[in-house]
Amino acid sequence: MRTAIQLTKLLELRSQPVAVSFLDSAPQNLPRIEDVAPSGCTYWKFAADGQSFYTEASDHYGCTIGAHTHGIDLPQQQGQELNDVIGTMTGMEYLDPSEVEGIPRREKPFGVVTYSPLAEELSGKPDVVLVCGTAKQMMLIAEAAQSAGVSSQTTMVGRPTCAAIPEVMKSGLSATNLGCIGNRVYTEMEDGELYFAFAGAQLDTIVKKLAGIIKANSQLQTYHREKISASLRSRL
């Protein structure tokens, strides 16, 4: 997909943007994941590394919080595990009990979910695009989204990172996400990186604005550096 390639080149990303789509049934053109991962966000890493595949509900039972945000109805055993995990997190004061009800969750019935590098996504309109990069790279794409009128209407959050998916699907806009500690472990993202997620339908709009935003930032960077130099010279 040409636009996906442009996005990666313009931002000089080290990893590929990931396309995520929820479908009623398994697509004929993709294999099911072979290695069930310990977390849903591990599948993001697989896709960023070049794999294209789909997962079924049971492929997410190893991460009950991720399964919850994806809208997966859990069997009794996994449902109890979810309650236990949340209880542990609130017990250690990682989560406040009042936060639990507000965790975004897909509302539609779960069929399958596909993951692929954005450049290899076949429909051209994934439900969500996940971009991982440095703070400066995410600043640029966030500014492009703002310029395009599709910026996030929520505050920047981290936990759980997978909640960015239903949040973006519900708003049809974008969301900046710091990445929670679990996601950082499973995806091996670097300490200085974070996420920008946006609705796949906004891809072309954001990329069209991105080149201009990058050019403007480059010019403004020169302006501000020259201003500092002038200030230093005036003190001599």
Residues 186-217 have pLDDT tens digits of: 999 999 999 999 999 999 999 999 999 999 99
Closest CA to 92 of 181, 165, 194: 181
For residue 159, the model assigns a pLDDT of: 82
pTM: 0.92
The Cβ of residue 17 has, within 10 Å, a number of other Cβ atoms equal to 26
Number of domains in the chain: 1
The residue range of the domain holding 118 is 2-235
Q: Report the C-alpha gap between 2 and 4 in whole angstroms.
A: 5
pLDDT band at 150 (very low <50, low <70, confident <90, very high): very high
